[in-house]
Structure 1
C-alpha cells in the first residue's frame, strides 16, 4: 500500500517519456476501457507524442519519478462551445487505486479548467466500470445520458455513461 498521495503535474515537453510510458500501460492493461487501441499509439512517431502532450492539457500523477496515473482534457474549439471540455485518457495504476490519486488528478485538472475559463467538464465511462461511475458521482458529476454501443471491444458492444459537472459560474 502506498503512503501519501502521488504528486500531480501538468505535463510539459520534458514529460513525453513519462506520458508515453503511462499511456501505453493504460492501453495494454485496460484495453476495454478506452476508445484507442494500444497498437495505434505504439505506432505514433516521437513528434506526435510530443504534440499530444503539449497541445492540450495532460496531467500525470507521479510516485517519486514513476508515472502512476493520467488524465487529459480536450477543450471544445467552437466559439459557442469553448466553455466545455471533455476528460479523456483517465487511468490510475491498480496499485494506486483507493489512495487518492484519481482525486488528485481530477482536482488538478479542475483547477486548470477553471483558470482557463472552462465552465463544464464532460466525460464518458463504460457501464462495465461502476467504480469509476461512483467516483465521478462522489466528485459531483451527474449522469446526463447513455451512449449505446459507445465502444466495440473484441466484437462486444459496450455502452457508455455520459456524465457532466459544472465547474464555473
Structure 2
C-alpha cells in the first residue's frame, strides 16, 4: 500500500475515486456524482489547489481511498483545518488503510502548522463516528439538518482533534 499527497497532475485519479465514493455512499457526501462527472481538468485542478488530497493506492496501483484536508484561509485561523471527503473502498476496510491515511493527514497537518482538525460526520454513520473517536476526536457540537439527502434533513456531528501540544506558559 502506498499513500501520497496528490498533485495537480493526478487530477484524473482524484476525479475517478471521488465519483466512485459518491456512487458507493450517496448519503455520506454533500455532492452528487454529476457534480464531478461534469468537471473538466481545469475545474478539478482548481479544486485540488484548495484541498490537500491524500490517496491510498493498493499494490496494483489502484486508488482505494482518500481524505481531503482544507486549511482555514485567514491568518488568525490558519492553525485550523477541516477533514473532508473521506472515503475507503469497501474491499479495503478493516485492513488499516483508513488509519494509515489518517496518520498521513495528521503528519502533514503538523508539518504545515495546523493545530486543530475539525470534521462533520453524519449522525447516520456510527462506524465513521467510532473511527474518529478511536483516533482521538471529540464531539464539539451538532448541526441540525446539516445537509439534505434525498429531500431529507440529516444532522451532522461536529468533531475536533488537537494535532499539536501547545507549549505551557510559565
With normalisation by structure 2, the TM-score equals 0.93
Write the deviation string for residues 132-154 of structure 1: whole angstroms up to 9, x where unpaired. Answer: 00000000000111111101100
Aligned to 1:3: none
Q: CA deviation at 1:20?
A: 1.0
Which aligned segments of 4 or more residues in structure 1 are displaced greater than 6 angstroms? none
Q: What residue is the counterpart of 1:14 in the other structure? A: 9
- 5+ long unaligned stretches in structure 2: 166-170
8 A Cα contact 1:11 1:54, kept in partner: no
Q: Is the 8 A contact 2:120 2:158 kept in 1?
A: yes
CA apart distance, 1:55: 3.5
Question: Which residue of 2 is the match for residue 45 of structure 1?
Answer: 40
User: Considering only aligned residues, what root-mean-square deviation do their CA atoms show, in Å?
Assistant: 1.0
1:77 alignment partner, SS class: coil
* Aligned residue in 1 for 2:51: 56
Structure 1: gaps of 5 or more residues: 1-5
Q: CA deviation at 1:13?
A: 2.6
- CA-to-aligned-CA distance 1:51-100 (integer Å, 9 cap, x gap): 22344311000002100001000000111111000001100001111111
After superposition, where does 1:54-133 map in structure 2 within 5 Å?
A: 54-63=49-58, 64-133=60-129
CA contact (8 A) 2:51 2:69 kept: yes
Give CA deviations for 1:9-31 in whole Å, capped at 9, x if unaligned: 00013321211111010011111
Mapped partners of 1:73, 1:31: distance in 2: 20
Q: Which residue of 1 aligns with 2:145?
A: 149
Which secondary structure does the structure 1 equivalent of 2:133 belong to? helix
**Alpha-carbon distance between aligned partners in 1 of 2:2 and 2:48, rounded to the nearest angstrom:** 18
Structure number with the bigger relative contact order (C-alpha 8 A, sep ≥ 6) is: 1
- The 3-state SS of whatever aligns with 2:136 is coil
Q: Deviations over 1:99-138 (max 9, x none)?
A: 1111111100000000000000000001111010000000
Aligned pairs, number: 164
